[in-house]
Amino acid sequence: MKRIYLAGKYNANNIIDCLSNIHDGIKMAVKVLKQGDVPFVPWLDYQFHFFDPTLTIDDYYRYSMAWLEVSDEVWVLPDSENSKGTQAEIKRAKELGIPVIKVVK
């Protein structure tokens, strides 16, 4: 079983696009689970806010990066290469020698 870190767009200029990004990320996580591997799913982070709205963006970045650093692979969702967060995740994975795989549509 591989630990797959899913990287991709989260934020957007409007709520509909943001919700679409969440949808796409969670949908990919389901595929990873069905193939027998375990995903890290940043698109579920919004749930933390319901229980503690004082968490900062840096809290989320630190939490996500800690999981990336112990992942076996990083999968980059389509059309996400321009995301600031995804670029940082790709950079860190490469620094650690973690394979980065671009998911095709």
State pLDDT tens for residues 75-95. Answer: 999 999 889 999 999 999 999
Q: Which of 36, 42, 37 is nearest to 59 (CA)?
A: 42
- Give the pLDDT band of residue 105 (cuts 50, 70, 90): confident
State pLDDT tens for residues 50-70. Answer: 999 999 999 999 999 999 999
Q: What is the CATH number of the domain that holds 21?
A: 3.40.50.10400
pTM of the model: 0.94
Angle value at C-alpha 33, between 31 and 38, nearest 5 degrees: 125
Q: Which amino acid is at 68?
A: L
| pLDDT at 81 (0 to 100) | 86
Instruction: Write out the residue range of the structural domain in which residue 56 sits.
Output: 3-102
Q: Which of 34, 29, 31 is nearest to 5 (CA)?
A: 29
Note whether 47 and 11 are within 8 A (CB): no
State pLDDT tens for residues 11-53. Answer: 999 999 999 999 999 999 999 999 999 999 999 999 999 999 9
Q: How many domains does the chain have?
A: 1
DSSP string, 55-86: --HHHHHHHHHHHHTT-SEEEEPTT-TT-HHH
Tally the residues of the chain. Answer: 105
Q: CB burial class (10 A; 0-12, 13-18, 19+) of residue 76?
A: buried
pLDDT at 9 over 90: yes
SS3 87: helix
